[in-house]
A = this chain, B = another copy of it.
Amino acid sequence: MSGTEERELVTQWRDLMTCYNKVACDLDRELQDQHGLGLSEFEALDRLIESGQDKLRMHELAEGMYLSQSAFSRTVARLERAGLVGRSMCMDDRRAMFVTATENGRARHSEARDTHRKVLAHHLS
């Protein structure tokens, strides 16, 4: 790997970090201030509702998310504590838990969605 290639790689990575952190930070602040939702909370809620499914297993919802298993588990716990999702047993596999959006959850998501899209539009191309 040449020195020039290295430099480009590092520059690319730094740009990525800067961009990600700017957006994530701004997004988190806006969602928190205006809707009382953290970034990962919104993300989980968003994916749950947009899946079109009434209920999803934890594992299915976690799929494709950027969080570790433990962080995800706690995120859903926070959403549940806030009354935005409900959890129920899965009878087919009693290890698994179903997650469902509550009415409050859908309402909150609907409100927060605009903020989310607006911040993204502002930062990304």
A: residues with CB less than 8 A from B are 1, 6, 9-10, 12-14, 16-24, 43, 64, 66, 117, 120-121, 124-125
Contacts and interface: CB of A to CB of B under 8 A. Distances in A.
Given A6-B117, A117-B1, A124 B17 contact: no
A21 B121 contact: no
Nearest to A18: B66
A121 B7 CA distance: 11
A1 to B, nearest CB: 6
A117 B9 CA distance: 8
Contacts of A64: 14, 18
A29 to B, nearest CB: 12
A43 B120 CA distance: 26
A9 B120 contact: yes
Contact of A16 (B13, B19, B43): B19
B121 A9 contact: yes
Given A9-B120, A16-B20, 18 more contacts: A1-B121, A9-B117, A9-B121, A9-B124, A12-B125, A13-B23, A13-B120, A13-B124, A16-B23, A16-B124, A17-B20, A17-B24, A17-B43, A18-B64, A20-B20, A20-B66, A21-B66, A22-B66
